[in-house]
Amino acid sequence: MIIGTRGSRLAMAQTDLFLSALRARFPETQAEVRVVATTGDRARDRPLKALGGLGAFVKELDERMLAREIDCAVNSLKDMPVDPTPGTEVACVLPRGPPEDVLVADAPLEELRQGAVIGSASVRRKALLLNARPDLDVRPLRGNITTRLAKMRSEGFDGVVLARGGLERLGIGRRRFVLDPDSFVPAVGQGAIAIVCRSGLPEQGRLMELDDARTRGEVEAERYLLRALGGGCSTPIGIHARTVDGDMLIRAVVLSPDGERRFDLREGCGLASLERDLERTAARLRQGSEGML
């Protein structure tokens, strides 16, 4: 099996997690890892919207799969468009890591100096930061985790917002403050690793056995709601689903890009009536966020 991945330290760490799970279940598996450079990796000085949105991080991987140069790809689920490329499928979703965002800084968000400079290229993070602290100076900062951390010091940023799961998977011990996911709502799929394969791949059945049902259900609910809102990387939307005692608890937020307008939703969906309840939740989200999408 030929496994495609991006070449960043985080992508390679996540590929190692996948390989460990695969070999633990199927010790006889022969696998080769092939690094694929994506548009999102090459054009780090341009906003994702200008590169075609979330697909900038998976387009080349999907193309290599369809060309049979690789069999499957390891993706951060939050980087994937809500609709898969025709001819590819999400074969499995590994158990989710921490979904929260963190502020890497010398002080928590509420204690930063007036007008502090915070780095983030995410429209969701920028809007949430400005909603909490309108005085902040939020500036674009792209690149992999280590690049952004290096730029934070060299370019005089007071802090940078990153995904907690990525920092922990890399073992980076920088001082950081977890941003409360009830107010600083995570991105759809944040913390989850998806294994995408070519439809009909002979090994697809094996990959499916690695699927974590709870994580799969939660991220599919998040992606359903994002699709219903017509959102992508250019819209400040956070959606986080958690399965608790037979229910799926949905926490969602939609903001205007400047953070001045905000619509919050907290909803409980019964697992036995999930499809119907998610339709109801999507309708409430659309109604409450009218004029912001």
**180-210 tens-digit pLDDT:** 999 999 999 999 999 999 999 999 999 999 9
Residues 259, 134: contact at Cβ < 8 Å? yes
- Strands annotated E in the chain: 2-5, 32-35, 72-76, 88-93, 101-105, 117-119, 137-139, 159-163, 176-178, 193-198, 237-244, 247-255, 262-270
In the chain, where the domains are located: 2-94+192-212, 101-178, 226-288
pLDDT tens digits, 248-289: 999 999 999 999 999 999 999 999 999 999 999 999 999 999
Name the token pair of 43. 């054009």
The one-digit pLDDT tens for each residue of the chain (293 residues) are 999 999 999 999 999 999 999 999 999 999 999 999 876 565 455 554 544 555 667 889 999 999 999 999 999 999 999 988 999 999 999 999 999 999 999 999 999 999 999 999 899 999 999 999 999 999 999 888 999 999 998 999 999 999 999 999 999 999 999 999 999 999 999 999 999 999 999 999 999 999 999 999 999 999 999 999 987 667 899 999 999 998 999 999 999 999 999 999 999 999 999 999 999 999 999 999 988 87
Catalytic pick from 6, 142, 164, 216?
142
**269 carries an active-site annotation:** no
CATH T-level assignment (fold) for domain 226-288: Double Stranded RNA Binding Domain (3.30.160)
Active-site position among 6, 59, 148, 164:
148
Query: Is 101 an annotated catalytic residue?
Result: no
**Out of 125, 126, 164, 251, which one is annotated catalytic?**
125
Q: Is 276 a catalytic residue?
A: no
CATH C-level class of 101-178: alpha beta
Superfamily of domain 2-94+192-212: Periplasmic binding protein-like II (3.40.190.10)
Structural element, H or E, at residue 66: helix 59-66
Q: Is 96 part of the annotated catalytic residue set?
A: no
Tell me whether the CATH fold assigned to 2-94+192-212 matches the one assigned to 101-178.
yes
Which position among 41, 62, 71, 79 bears the catalytic label? 79
Is 198 a residue of the active site? no
Active site residue 68: no
Q: Which of 59, 124, 164, 169 is catalytic?
A: 124
Distances 94 to 105, 216, 245 between C-alpha atoms, Å: 30, 8, 21
